[in-house]
Chain A
Amino acid sequence: MVETDTTAVRVAGLTKRFGSGEASVLALRGVDLEVRTGELLMLVGPSGCGKTTLISVLAGIMDKTDGALSVLGVDPSAMSVNDRTRWRGEHIGFVFQAFNLMPALTAAENVSIPLLIRNVPQTEALQRARAMLERVELADRADALPEQLSGGQQQRVAIARALVHEPQLVVCDEPTSSLDHETGRHVMEILHGMTRASRRTLIVVTHDARIFGFADRIARMDDGRVVAVEAGAANAVPASPTSAGQELERGRDPHLQVVPTT
C-alpha cells in the first residue's frame, strides 16, 4: 500500500490486546485497512468483532498494541497522552450512539464545546454553534436542553457538535441505532451531506443496514480482522431503503459489492 495525500487512514497489521497473560484478549488481530480522504466508510460485523475498538484506536482514544497506524498523517499511539488529547480536539469529531450531550447545557452550548476546548472565545463559539445548528435544521431549538429534544434532534445536535470545529476525520458509533427508520435516515442524510460537501472523512460503525446506502465502502469485520471491503451503494446503483430492508430480511446486505482491499 502506498500512502498518498488522499489517504486519511492507513493501518496495517494493527493489533490491540486487552489485559495481559492468560486472561488477555486480542480484540484486533492484524487489521489492514485504508480510508480515503472524503470517503464515508462503514464498519460492519457481528457484536464483539472489534469495530468499536478499531475506531477507538483510529480516533486516538485507545493505544494500539502493534502494527502500523497512520491517521491524518500521524500515529496517535506514538504521542504523549496530552498531545494525543489535543490532537483529537483539533482533528477528530465524534458522534456517539448515546448522543452524550451534557444535560445541563443548551443545544447551542453543547455544540460550542469543541470550540471552547480549542479556546475559542465563548461568544464566538456560541455564534458558530448556532450557525451549525442552523445547518442541521435546529436553529429554532438552539436554546433547548437535551431533555426537551427528541432522539433525532439530539443526534443532530451531536452531529453539529462533531463538525463545528471542522475536523478532518469524523468517527460515528452506531449513530442511528437509537432512532427510528425515518429519523435515522434523516440524520444520516444530514451527516453525509455535511461531510461530503467539505470532503471530511467519515467512519461509521453500524449494525443498521438501512443506512448502508450512504456508504462509499463497507468494511466487514469478523474476529478482530477486516475480512472484506466492499463498495457501498453510494458507489453503485442507489437503492431505496425499502428494498434494502427487504434484502436484509432475506439474509444478505443488498448494497454490498465485494471489492478487493487496497
Chain B
Amino acid sequence: MLQIALKMLTGDRLKYFGLIAGIAFAALLIAQQASILVGFIRQTGGFIRDTAQADLWLMDPQVRFSQDPVPMRDTVAQLARGVDGVQWAVPLFQGYTRGKLPDGTRITLILVGLDDATLMGGPPQMVQGELRDLRNDRAVLIDAVSSPKKLLMKQGGGRALTVGDRFTVNENEVQIAGSYEGRRSFFWEPVVYTTYSRALTLVPPERNQLSFVLLKLVPGADIARVRAAIERRTGLKTLTNEEFIERTGDYIASETGIIVNFGMAIALGFLIGTLVAGQTFYNFTLDNLRHYGALKAMGVTDGRLGGMVLLQALVVAVLGYCIGVGLAAATGKLMESSGLAFSMPWQIPAITAMAILGVSAIAALLSLRRVVLLEPAVVFKS
C-alpha cells in the first residue's frame, strides 16, 4: 500500500514538483536567512579572533562588545603581570578615530595599538611586510582583504591605499608598512594596527587610554584561580576569547535588532513554506479524496490511509529539505567571495529539518483530517 501511496504522489508530476518546490522554498529561506544571521554574529568576533594569541582579556566590567572599550589606568597591566600564573600581560589600545586619505577622502577607522616591546595581539597572518615593521617610523598595518573597499580614494581615481602609501590619522601622518589578512568583520570601519605608544600620539589625549590588557597564562596554570586573582587585584573583568566573542555577539544580536529582522525573515520562510506546502498538499489530498474513498470502501483502514498520507508528506519533506538546504549551502558558497556573511553550522540544517518536518506534519495532518472524516460512500457519487 505504501508503494501505491508513492505512485499516487508522483503520478501527477506538476503537483508533485509543486509540493517539493514549496517545501524547498521554505527550507531555502529558513536555512539561508539563519546562516546569514549566524555569519553576521560570527563576524562580530573577527577582531577578537585576529588578536587571539592571548588566553584572557582584561577589561572594564562595563565593556559590552569588542569595539566598546572603557578606558582603564595604564597601571592595570602591571597589576595583572604580578599575579601568580600570568606569563605575560600587555596593553592594547583600541578606538575609533578619524583619518584622511591622500586624495582628501575622509574615513573613520578603528585604530589598534600593540605593545611596543612584544607586538602581542597583532594580526596572525601577514600578507605584505612583517609585524615588526610597525617599529618603523610612523608605521601602520592595513587589512589587505578589506582595504580595496574600505581604504578607497574615492576622490582621486578610485585607487585603494597600498603598502608604502601615506595618509593621516587625526592630522598626523602615518605610512603603511605592511598588510595583514584580516577576517571579515561585522563592523564596517577598517582596522589599522600600529604600536601602543604611537596610537596614543595619534588620538586625542585622555586621562586613561588603555583599552584592554591581553594576558597569557603559564602552561598548566589553573585558569579559574588566575582569573579570580586578577579580578580581585584589579577590580576588573577577565574574559576568554570565546567568552568575549560570545559577549560581543550577544550584544549585537540583542541591541541592533538583527535577530528580529532575520527572525522575521526566517518566520516568513516558515509561514510561506507552510502555506504553500500546506495548501498544495491539501489540494493534492482533496484531488485524491475520491481515490482515498475508494480505498476506504475496499477495506483500507484509517490507520493505513494515515500511513499513506504521512509517507507522502515525508517523501516531499525529505526531498524539499535536501533541495532547499542544498541550494542555501550552494548560494553561500557561491557568494563567499562577495563578502556575504554566511555560516552554516550543523545546528542550522538540524533546525531547518525540524521546521520542515513541522511544516510537512501540519500539511499532512490537515489533509489527514479530511481523509479520516471521509465517508466512503462518496465513491457511489458519480
Contact = CB atoms under 8 A, between A and B. Distances in A.
Contact of B297 (A88, A102, A122): A88
B382 A174 contact: yes
Nearest to A88: B299
Contacts of A39: none
Interface in A114-141: 114, 116-118, 122
Interface stretch (B6-14, B148-156, B343-351): B6-14
Interface string A172-189: 011001100000000000
A27 B8 CA distance: 35
B377 A61 contact: yes
A55 interface: yes
A85 B294 CA distance: 12
Contacts of B376: 61
Interface in B1-45: 1, 3-4, 7-8, 10-12
> In this complex, which of A56, A89, A97, A104 has the most chain B Cβ atoms within 10 angstroms of its Cβ?
A104
A109 interface: yes
A173 to B, nearest CB: 5
Contacts of B3: 122
Contact of A89 (B291, B298, B375, B377): B298
B63 interface: no
A113 interface: yes
Interface residues of B, number: 27
Given A55-B380, A61-B377, A174-B382, A104 B297 contact: no
B302 A104 contact: no
The range of chain A's interface size is 35 or more
A87 B300 CA distance: 10
Contacts of B296: 61, 85
B9 to A, nearest CB: 8
B290 interface: yes
B297 A117 contact: no
Nearest to A116: B1
B193 to A, nearest CB: 67
A116 B2 CA distance: 10
Contacts of A104: 7-8, 10-12
B301 A86 contact: yes
B305 to A, nearest CB: 10
Contacts of A59: 297
B382 A98 contact: yes
B380 A105 contact: no
B145 interface: no
Interface string A78-118: 00011001111110101011101011110001000110111
Nearest to A100: B294
Contacts of B1: 116-117
A62 interface: yes
Interface of A: 52, 55-56, 59, 61-62, 81-82, 85-90, 92, 94, 96-98, 100, 102-105, 109, 113-114, 116-118, 122, 173-174, 177-178
14 contacts: A52-B377, A61-B297, A61-B375, A61-B376, A61-B377, A81-B302, A85-B301, A89-B299, A90-B299, A96-B379, A97-B382, A98-B379, A102-B7, A109-B7
Interface of B: 1, 3-4, 7-8, 10-12, 290-291, 293-303, 375-377, 379-380, 382
Given A82-B303, A102-B291, 12 more contacts: A56-B380, A61-B296, A61-B375, A85-B302, A86-B301, A89-B298, A92-B299, A94-B294, A98-B290, A98-B379, A100-B291, A100-B379
